[in-house]
Chains A and B, each alone.
Chain A
Amino acid sequence: RKEVEQDPGPFNVPEGATVAFNCTYSNSASQSFFWYRQDCRKEPKLLMSVYSSGNEDGRFTAQLNRASQYISLLIRDSKLSDSATYLCVVNMAINSGNTPLVFGKGTRLSVIA
């Protein structure tokens, strides 16, 4: 099983739609979880961290399910500007922040007018 797995998509949704992405990770000892966004031919940028209790930032909601080892990202009221690739990222460290992050291959989202 790969360390971090994502559905590659593409997800093609109309403006205003709600879309959800899931990501599974293999290491049950993983401590930190993130969603990054990458626009075409640009560098990845942090979208949001994912906390155990779940967290929301405007139209974006991230959730963590440790028992099933997956994290999710929900985007409500999709905008054209949300079109990008969304990367699921996991820190496999147990007690140290020094262990590198592991990136999923990304899920591509296209929001259509």
Chain B
Amino acid sequence: NAGVTQTPKFQVLKTGQSMTLQCAQDMNHEYMSWYRQDPGMGLRLIHYSVGAGITDQGEVPNGYNVSRSTTEDFPLRLLSAAPSQTSVYFCASSFRTSGSAYEQYFGPGTRLTVT
């Protein structure tokens, strides 16, 4: 299993450009999520999905869109990049359970710089 993969690893955008961060998992996990990590802020949830066709907003969803057309893929789209979106983005996935502990597996991250 490749686990959770993310592409690209690094990206530089100009303000106003749009792009899609790709995330895929091959573990048949129902639950997938996107986080951003900034110095001193910890991991903050952007969007998440509990299964194909179902998405929901996290703590910091503005400026981002997601879709979940398949179990495997969960792309994150930046609509119009802003310098405030400079960050490290992590995708994660896990099995969906009911009220009990579950482990989230993270991808290696995408380092995005917006100039």
List chain A positions with a Cβ less than 8 A from chain B. 31-34, 42-46, 49, 87, 91, 93-98, 100-101, 103-106
Chain A residues closer than 8 Å to B50, beta-carbon distance: 98
Which of chain B's residues has its CB closest to A45's CB? B106
Q: Is B45 an interface residue (CB 8 A)?
A: yes
Q: How far is the CB of B18 from chain A (nearest CB, A)?
A: 25
Chain A contact residues: helix, strand, loop or mixed:
loop
How far apart are the CA atoms of A96 and B96 in the complex, in Å? 9
Chain B contact residues: helix, strand, loop or mixed:
loop
Chain A residues closer than 8 Å to B102, beta-carbon distance: 32, 97
List 9 A-B residue pairs with CB atoms under 8 Å apart, sorted by A's residue number. A31-B99, A32-B101, A33-B101, A42-B108, A87-B42, A94-B99, A98-B50, A101-B104, A105-B40
Chain A residues closer than 8 Å to B41, beta-carbon distance: 105
- Is B99's CB under 8 angstroms from A44's CB? no
Once A42-B108, A105-B40 are accepted as A-B contacts, the answer to whether A34 and B98 lie under 8 Å apart by CB is: no
How far apart are the CA atoms of A34 and B58 in the complex, in Å? 20
How far apart are the CA atoms of A100 and B35 in the complex, in Å? 11
Once A98-B31, A100-B45, A100-B48 are accepted as A-B contacts, the answer to whether A43 and B109 lie under 8 Å apart by CB is: yes
